[in-house]
Amino acid sequence: MYVTTRILAVLIAAGLLVACGRPAGSPATVSSTQAMEPDDASSRDFGDYVLHFTAIPTNSLTPEIASSYAITRSANRVLLNVSILKKTEGAADVPVAGKVVASAVNLNGQAKNLSVREIREGKAIYYVGDVAISGEEALVFSVEAQPAGATGVPLSVRFQRQFYGN
């Protein structure tokens, strides 16, 4: 449990420090029907569920964590991390499995190759995927998550982050 907490803390802290905003004057959106999450958002409440999301450069991970999850550390790669939590009255939210699909595009509309895989560690469940960037690049991530056993519309977020590679 300590390792899970440490991984989540590293990912959230790095995401907030490295990629929480856009430079002044950059475009606010890429055309889409779904509204963009605020720059500082890292989660969204959907009633019974909360969807947590972050994207950070993979070189902000420790070599040990990157190696244990087969993630390539590089200033030119970004890690998307998503988790689905079910709200529990009077207790901590509980991680749940589901189906998570994500895509990433740059501000020129170029699609980035991104596939998501599930990681389980103890009771924690994460969905991660990494994507290449080229120099200074802003990416718009679209994430859809369907919690296991839930019916209805998937949990859906769209957010933008700025990255500075080599």
The count of structural domains within the chain is: 1
- d(CA 135, CA 132) in angstroms, rounded, equals 10
**Type of residue at 52:** H
pTM comes to 0.79
**Contact of 43 with 53, CB cutoff 8 Å:** yes
Q: What is the CATH number of the domain that holds 119?
A: 2.60.40.3340
Range of the domain at 121: 2-21+30-164
Q: pLDDT tens, position by position, for the chain (166 residues)?
A: 444 444 444 444 344 333 333 333 333 333 356 899 988 899 999 999 999 999 999 999 999 999 999 999 999 999 999 999 999 999 999 999 999 999 999 999 999 999 999 999 999 999 999 999 999 999 999 999 999 999 889 999 999 999 998 8
